[in-house]
Structure 1
């Protein structure tokens, strides 16, 4: 059991309390996370529907493509995201895959790294994959860019870590943190007071014939959680001085609440922080105001979201000393 951080701690707020005044998205508020207390540990270990994360460390893979030599593609501020992710997962007791973050990797290099990660040499309680780059849509598929400007589809990651291609990781929770645009549209938000409620038709799913099998099987895809920095079709937001809103919010929330909340619960807090964050944006070669002659700016926001097929709660147990 590790000692509690010496940094000043605020008591975690419940979801019913107003957290709009707390800006988790702009800067990281602390250098050290809150470690789990004896009381919190007792509560967590008493939860039956949780992944057993007390036996082994986790392992985190961090990839960042910042395109430093390309003035049009350069992702200013992304070095902050790398520092935040490496600090967070190290403090949570994770091994860092390759001992340090990968930087400036081509599409094929990333595919090989992900393949290596899907077949680890030792046992882990959970796996974290952080990918930060440019991204978008090719057809209808979300993808992210290699340093060579070739694309890797998110579907490829899902397949690589499926129960078919990653048998050693079956029943092990796999968290994917994806910081890149999922399209080119800018989310200008909605005026809440003028929002119009719309009711969509809900179609009943088609019922297919089912054949019962004697032997036990599991689905091709399970125990994965994909946390995206923005919705499909929309751009993600990164501050050139402080880093990405999503990575900053995730770092702040995990630093503060991982001692007492599951990953899924903490991602709700990240979503809430992103929901209440907005900024001003102007295109490099955008529309000019006829009166001022300046480039028109407008409010912009981005909403994180998750695809979750975890089957249990994932607690990270910060400060808990596992057996080597």
Structure 2
């Protein structure tokens, strides 16, 4: 043919994908397709399944392995001009393991009985995972029948479960979380309360004539709600070993707004089809419904379907697989949110940083969700209209799956723009980068302490204010002992922790004296001693926190700790001084005004420096400025509320990207008192906001929460704090922790 060149790949005929080719299981959610005899001039191999194409580049003639999330398919070659060759069907089909449905737990005698819908396949086993107070227990269980009995659950703990199908080759399917959370507690003659998610039950004095074990379950099985009603609370189920002699006082939080007592009813079920009506006593401003009940079974608050009260809906975005985005609308309750997170956790989905404000919705509203990949040549929009009807208001959760976006891996970095619009008026936009910054962001845990489960912070008006008294709450022995077998938690044994605390006051130096820092020293030394740490000192400085240190002395002390010969469970470094940026690098200042580069200090604690530092958390707490940018509205007239910004002989410049980098090695956690380029804030009479918040939160929450969760509470306190002349500061953290870092106050003994 005239004008044809055999050296032009685009003009060559597309080759047939030849046998043998096969499909193999490559993981829980993926299938591998192996194709041999792929010619080197071919640009793209396309795997096709369920009307979804996934394009993969071919670099050689030795074969190609692709991953797709489908059960079967066929392959063909496609060149860059879009021409498609002959299609070849795969020889075998991989059957996906079924998803388990209707997982629920309930009381059975003194045990918890877990049940689910069975699968009609004799080759399928069932894999059970148990979570105690949101922490997964190490052991898993396998059974051939669709039920599992958990004997003698620990009193005072709450449990939920995950069940998945498992074949005889050991492959595990998608995980399904139980619909409800269950808790067991003993109630004495003098009464007590039980709290679980948004539900609370108070047993007055004399409710029982003997100490009684009580089971409390909160779930989302709204299928029990009759057709003429719309559920507005989770399902609460209480059972006890003894009969109630007095009415218990029940509180349940609703996701429905603008409620009056006459608008809804409490349905008290005697069996699956029959119920009695209980009238509520009151409705509180926070949507909590209160009523009294003496005979317990399942109860739920519901409204007649003809009544159109507004409902609050929350939202979350998830990445499923490599390039599929799912969006979840759900009722604004902790129970529902836990269910949503559990569902996507079972899919190994990643939480995307694009959460919008809650929506107040009524029948007839319209929500429009839009997604766009910025930088995509087509700049395509993906639209999803959501129409609010009775069915939408009734169901606690709705999941929406978006079309496959252009393959993310084609771009080194992309920005995804999410837009949410209500009734064509209210609009909110979120943007995030892909790939995601940190895998830790995908592990979601609740950071808000549950009322009644542990000491509440609600009685403290200002977490960033003066710390009155430091009393650390000890953790439960069972929680500590479970950490021995949980690989997701850092091991805390003897010797426990080593803490180095450094503080420069610059006393007597005009314009630089750090008044109030002595309060910070007292807080940090007392807190870490009561958390079981040894405070580091040497012969020259047995108590290094008591006097100012030059830049060299600070580096020498830090170097000594980095070279320790003893294997501690964790290291804590607290540095409180002036800081800023010098020649584009974050630094802090010695008492002789010599500058110490932050990065050089952190490098001392890299895994390559000392084997005793490997696989243990290294926790840095910095109380110093990170730059020179100051919001002028924060400057007080007497300039006493602001941490003075260090000035060097060099021109102070804007902080570079190097200051924002994550540590390059593992198990380092850095906590800053302020955002990069900004000043930290210290009250000369009460101490630093950041140090006060850490002290107030850690001493009350370390018994139940890990360090990352506690610092989220600190962040919230810092966000809410406002000082003189509207002064603000926002703390932040950088981390490369690979496990949960619990402090376990009171242990080991």
The answer to whether the 8 Å contact 1:177/1:228 transfers is yes
Query: Are 2:585 and 1:132 equivalent residues in the alignment?
Result: no
Q: Partners in 2 of 1:189 and 1:225 — Cα distance?
A: 31
Please report how far the alpha carbon of residue 220 of structure 1 lies from its aligned counterpart in structure 2 after TM superposition: 5.4
Please list, as runs of the form range in 1=range in 2, the aligned pairs for 1:183-222 lying within 5 A after superposition.
Answer: 183-187=627-631, 221-222=665-666
1:315 corresponds in structure 2 to 742
Q: Partners in 2 of 1:17 and 1:33 — Cα distance?
A: 18
* Structure ID, larger Rg: 2
Match of 2:733 among 303, 306, 319: 306
Please list, as runs of the form range in 1=range in 2, the aligned pairs for 1:268-307 lying within 5 A after superposition.
Answer: 268-280=712-724, 298-307=725-734
Please list, as runs of the form range in 1=range in 2, the aligned pairs for 1:3-18 lying within 5 A after superposition.
Answer: 15=448
Count of aligned residue pairs for this structure pair:
266
Match of 1:105 among 536, 546, 549: 549
The answer to whether the 8 Å contact 1:32/1:255 transfers is yes
The answer to whether the 8 Å contact 2:573/2:619 transfers is yes
Match of 2:469 among 25, 30, 39: 30
1:261 corresponds in structure 2 to 705
Query: Are 2:689 and 1:245 equivalent residues in the alignment?
Result: yes
Greater strand proportion = 2
Q: Partners in 2 of 1:276 and 1:72 — Cα distance?
A: 28
Q: Partners in 2 of 1:258 and 1:57 — Cα distance?
A: 15
User: Does the residue aligned with 2:601 lie in a helix, a strand or coil?
Assistant: helix
2:528 corresponds in structure 1 to 89
Please report how far the alpha carbon of residue 149 of structure 1 lies from its aligned counterpart in structure 2 after TM superposition: 0.6
The answer to whether the 8 Å contact 2:617/2:667 transfers is yes
The answer to whether the 8 Å contact 1:59/1:126 transfers is yes
- By relative contact order (CA 8 Å, sep 6+), the higher-ranking structure is 1
Query: Deviation per CA, 1:224-264, whole angstroms, max 9, x where unpaired?
Result: 00100111100000000111000000001100001111111
Q: Partners in 1 of 2:614 and 2:633 — Cα distance?
A: 40
Q: Partners in 2 of 1:166 and 1:228 — Cα distance?
A: 25
Query: Deviation per CA, 1:272-295, whole angstroms, max 9, x where unpaired?
Result: 110100111xxxxxxxxxxxxxxx
Per the normalisation by structure 1, the TM-score is 0.76
Please report how far the alpha carbon of residue 147 of structure 1 lies from its aligned counterpart in structure 2 after TM superposition: 0.3
The answer to whether the 8 Å contact 1:44/1:315 transfers is no
Q: Partners in 1 of 2:712 and 2:470 — Cα distance?
A: 22
The answer to whether the 8 Å contact 1:44/1:260 transfers is no
For structure 1, the residue ranges without an aligned partner over 5 or more in a row are 1-10, 191-218, 281-297
Per the normalisation by structure 2, the TM-score is 0.34
Please report how far the alpha carbon of residue 305 of structure 1 lies from its aligned counterpart in structure 2 after TM superposition: 0.5
Q: Partners in 2 of 1:222 and 1:274 — Cα distance?
A: 27
User: Does the residue aligned with 2:726 lie in a helix, a strand or coil?
Assistant: strand
1:154 corresponds in structure 2 to 598
Please report how far the alpha carbon of residue 16 of structure 1 lies from its aligned counterpart in structure 2 after TM superposition: 8.0
Query: Are 2:485 and 1:58 equivalent residues in the alignment?
Result: no
Greater helix proportion = 1
Please report how far the alpha carbon of residue 126 of structure 1 lies from its aligned counterpart in structure 2 after TM superposition: 0.2
Runs of 4+ residues deviating >6 angstroms: 16-21
Please report how far the alpha carbon of residue 222 of structure 1 lies from its aligned counterpart in structure 2 after TM superposition: 1.2
Query: Deviation per CA, 1:265-315, whole angstroms, max 9, x where unpaired?
Result: 1111111110100111xxxxxxxxxxxxxxxxx311100000100111111
User: Does the residue aligned with 2:519 lie in a helix, a strand or coil?
Assistant: helix
Match of 2:513 among 74, 77, 87: 74
Match of 1:41 among 461, 480, 495: 480
What's the RMSD between the two structures over aligned residues? Answer: 2.4
Please report how far the alpha carbon of residue 162 of structure 1 lies from its aligned counterpart in structure 2 after TM superposition: 1.0
For structure 2, the residue ranges without an aligned partner over 5 or more in a row are 1-194, 196-445, 452-456, 635-662
Match of 1:145 among 575, 579, 589: 589
Q: Partners in 1 of 2:745 and 2:633 — Cα distance?
A: 36
Q: Partners in 2 of 1:28 and 1:188 — Cα distance?
A: 28
Q: Partners in 2 of 1:188 and 1:17 — Cα distance?
A: 38
Q: Partners in 2 of 1:126 and 1:177 — Cα distance?
A: 13
2:565 corresponds in structure 1 to 121
Please report how far the alpha carbon of residue 72 of structure 1 lies from its aligned counterpart in structure 2 after TM superposition: 1.4
The answer to whether the 8 Å contact 2:497/2:572 transfers is yes
User: Does the residue aligned with 1:155 lie in a helix, a strand or coil?
Assistant: helix
Aligned CA distance change for structure 1 residues 51 and 14 (closer, same or farther; 3 Å): closer
Query: Deviation per CA, 1:151-207, whole angstroms, max 9, x where unpaired?
Result: 1111011111112223320111100000000012224799xxxxxxxxxxxxxxxxx
The answer to whether the 8 Å contact 2:532/2:745 transfers is yes
Please report how far the alpha carbon of residue 38 of structure 1 lies from its aligned counterpart in structure 2 after TM superposition: 3.0
Q: Partners in 1 of 2:675 and 2:574 — Cα distance?
A: 17
1:293 corresponds in structure 2 to none
User: Does the residue aligned with 2:619 lie in a helix, a strand or coil?
Assistant: strand
Q: Partners in 2 of 1:165 and 1:263 — Cα distance?
A: 25
Q: Which moved more, 1:23-32 or 1:83-92?
A: 23-32
User: Does the residue aligned with 1:136 lie in a helix, a strand or coil?
Assistant: strand
Query: Deviation per CA, 1:13-32, whole angstroms, max 9, x where unpaired?
Result: 96288978741101114321
Q: Partners in 2 of 1:77 and 1:248 — Cα distance?
A: 11
2:608 corresponds in structure 1 to 164
